[in-house]
Amino acid sequence: MMKYYLAVDIGASSGRHILAHLEDEKIILEEMYRFTNGNVTRDGHLCWELDRLFEEIVNGIAACAKAGKAPSSMGIDTWGVDFVLLDKNNQILGDTIAYRDSRTDDMDKLLETMISPEELYERTGIQKQLYNSIYQLLAIKNEHPEYIKNAEHYLMVPEYFNYLLTGVMMNEYTNATTGQLVNAVTKDWDYELLDRIGIPSKIFGKLHMPKTSVGMLKPEIAKKCGCQTEVILPATHDTGSAVLAVPANDDDFIYLSSGTWSLMGIERKYAECSLKSMKYNFTNEGGYDYRFRYLKNIMGLWMLQNVRKEMNTDNKTYTFPELIAMAKEADGFPSIVNCNDSSFLAPKSMTDAVRYYCERTGQKIPQSMGEVMVVIYNSLAQSYKDTVAELEEMSGRKFTRIHVVGGGCQDMFLNQKIKTFTGKEVYAGPVEGTALGNLMVQMLKDGSFKTLEEARECVASSFDVKKVD
């Protein structure tokens, strides 16, 4: 009888239920269900619709069961940093506000009165991003101190979904590290830091590693799904899962998880928390088996996605191939923007934000949409080039190739730009990197693979990984 594993992979714009099984020593993937995601505005804040997302999770499991492919196990991964606070009745306190919301503006100034940026980086190894959980907690404490006072539990988004499925509250290591609250040496919550910023440590549970069993579905949930299954912790942070799926076992590569965000880095055994690393804005996110993902967050396909959204009308919907064709026609346009500039995080118009950045920096202003697109493509490639140089400087090594995984690996125009700008060999694939990493952990849990190296070898033989010409 075929054994199935289910990855529920939820990103900022959509979620998918990806089912996997092993056949002839290869991993076979099948998309069973897809749903939309996005922010809604409540009381002036950008929020997630967690109730609706949970309904979609249940619907997707039911779709698997209806197809006669009930999973023996499942795991959920999402974006990082966002969380819920639960009261003594296990009810959410306030709205679940999204990381792109502006509520954390100026929270860095408040935090600096409690701990210096240098000490914070030395303790956590996490780059300063105003959307990190630590700044969100300070914003809640500042605006709604009663939420902090009444909080009994802190659960990140996938952990909350696991709780709704099983009734078990369990914190997971890889996602916890994204919030700038975990000590890079002890690999546990930094309780001294929490005391200093006035956040009660009692709300933070034991950190568990990927491969840990959360539990079985609650009876009422199993009835809705039409099946029973075991919920497993993957690397619940989507980048943690994506990096697992890189089809290589040597240390001669840089990975690029390419999606709404671009995450570019290397794997290390120890965190690099020096002032120089801080200056370069690298982060040390926790990974599988206590590996560190030493990487840089780059704005990524978010910029292209927003330009496309702005161009689409009731009468015309542009495909990405059509936008790429426009960019190719405008190739050679000279302007470059800093993709990580705050003006691109959540602008009312990405097109206007790109044009205004070029104007205020004295560069040629793109007029056509093709010119706007090629500015973004070249700017992303320039960011990757700069990051490669910094990774090589910080590690004291030279890397020969870049492995691009995730949905963005399908954009061969961007992949060719990466090769041209960096001078490295570029390999594209697999596409479903995040879901695949999630599934690999489940397979490691049940013994289908003995080691991560064995699992990665199977990925390399199971999927078409293209070398960019």
Does the annotation mark 188 as catalytic? no
In a domain, 360, yes or no: yes
Q: What is the pLDDT of residues 56-100, one digit of tens each?
A: 999 999 999 999 999 999 999 999 999 999 999 999 999 999 999
Q: Summarize pLDDT for 131-188 with one digit per residue, the tens.
A: 999 999 999 999 999 999 999 999 999 999 999 999 999 999 999 999 999 999 999 9
d(CA 261, CA 243): 14
Query: For residues 173 and 187, is the Cβ–Cβ distance under 8 A?
Result: yes
pLDDT score for 1: 78
Q: Are 178 and 285 contacting, i.e. CB atoms less than 8 angstroms apart?
A: yes
pLDDT for the residue 320? 87
pLDDT band at 255; cut points 50, 70, 90: very high
Residue 323 phi/psi, 5-degree rounding, is: -65, -40
User: Active-site residue among 87, 238, 252, 331?
Assistant: 238
Answer with the one of 185, 203, 232 that is the final residue of a domain: 232
Q: Are residues 396 and 285 in the same domain?
A: yes
Instruction: Residue 239: name the closest of 79, 391, 397, 121 by CA.
Output: 79
Pick the last residue of a domain from 181, 198, 232: 232
Q: Are residues 79 and 223 in the same domain?
A: yes
Q: Is the pLDDT of residue 419 over 90?
A: yes
Enumerate residues 6+ apart whose C-beta is below 8 A from 103. Answer: 45, 97, 136, 139, 143
pLDDT of 313 higher than 90: no
CA–CA–CA angle 431, 326, 256 (5° rounding): 30
- Give residue 251's pLDDT: 87
Q: How high is the mean pLDDT of the chain?
A: 96
Instruction: Confirm whether 440 is domain-assigned.
Output: no
Query: Rounded to whole angstroms, how far apart are CA atoms 83 and 268?
Result: 27
Look at residue 264 in the predicted model and tell me its pLDDT: 97
Cβ-contact 173, 125 below 8 angstroms:
no
Residue 316, pLDDT above cutoff 90 = no
Residue type, position 329, single letter: E
Nearest to 294 by CA among 302, 303, 281, 285: 285
**Does 275 lie in the same domain as 176?**
no
Structure tokens at 144: 């709604």
Alpha-carbon distance 320 to 416, whole Å? Answer: 16
369 has a pLDDT exceeding 90: yes
Q: In the predicted model, is pLDDT for residue 106 greater than 90? A: yes
Query: Do 276 and 416 belong to one domain?
Result: yes
422-450 residue pLDDT tens:
999 999 999 999 999 999 999 999 999 99
Residues 225 and 87 in one domain: yes
Residue range of the domain that includes 363:
248-429
- Residues 207 and 297 occupy one common structural domain: no
Q: Verify that 218 and 367 share a domain, yes or no.
A: no
Residues 218 and 297 in one domain: no
Q: Domains in the chain: how many in total?
A: 2
Do 187 and 333 reside in the same domain of the chain?
no
Comparing CA positions, the residue from 387, 370, 185 lying closest to residue 294 is 387
Tell which phi-psi region holds residue 449, choosing left (phi > 0), alpha (psi between -120 and 50) or beta.
beta
Residues 145 and 275 in one domain: no
Phi–psi pair at 215, nearest 5 degrees: 150, -175
The answer to whether residues 218 and 279 belong to one domain is no
Residue 188's beta-bridge partner residues? none
CATH number at residue 389: 3.30.420.40
468 three-state secondary structure: coil
What confidence score (pLDDT) does residue 97 get? 97
Radius of gyration (Cα) for the chain, nearest Å? 22
Res 260 pLDDT > 90: no
Burial (CB < 10 A; 0-12, 13-18, 19+), residue 68, is: exposed
Residue 285 reports pLDDT greater than 90: yes
